[in-house]
Amino acid sequence: MMCGAPSATQPAAAGTQAIADQVKSQLEEKENKKFPLFKAVEFRRQVVAGTNHFIKVQVGDDDYVHIRVFESLPHENKPPALTSYQTNKARHDELSYF
């Protein structure tokens, strides 16, 4: 992967779910609703001055959200932050840069 270019879309693993879980409350606050289901399905990664994680998250039977999470460099000692999101997504919607 080249610095600055997003990676190819990959299936989510435990590490991706952990990142999504860390920003779940931020999304719930912004959307003013609770998500009983919050399952990371796939992701892309972009290395910048830190890392942008683009994650497709299943929040209902056929309801998905795309979230962008910024993870700063380790020496900055900051938690992951929800920087953007898209609602009303479906399973087949491409996870692209936003």
pLDDT in tens, 6-60: 788 889 999 999 999 999 999 999 999 999 999 999 999 998 889 999 999 999 9
Indicate the pLDDT class of residue 93, thresholds 50, 70 and 90.
very high
In this predicted structure, what is the pLDDT of residue 51?
Answer: 92
Count other Cβ atoms within 10 Å, centred on residue 54.
Answer: 22
* Predicted structure pTM score: 0.90
Report the candidate in 96, 84, 90 with the shortest Cα–Cα distance to residue 31.
84
The CA-CA-CA angle for residues 55, 58, 62, to 5°, reads 135
In this predicted structure, what is the pLDDT of residue 74?
Answer: 86
Domains of the chain: 10-89 (3.10.450)
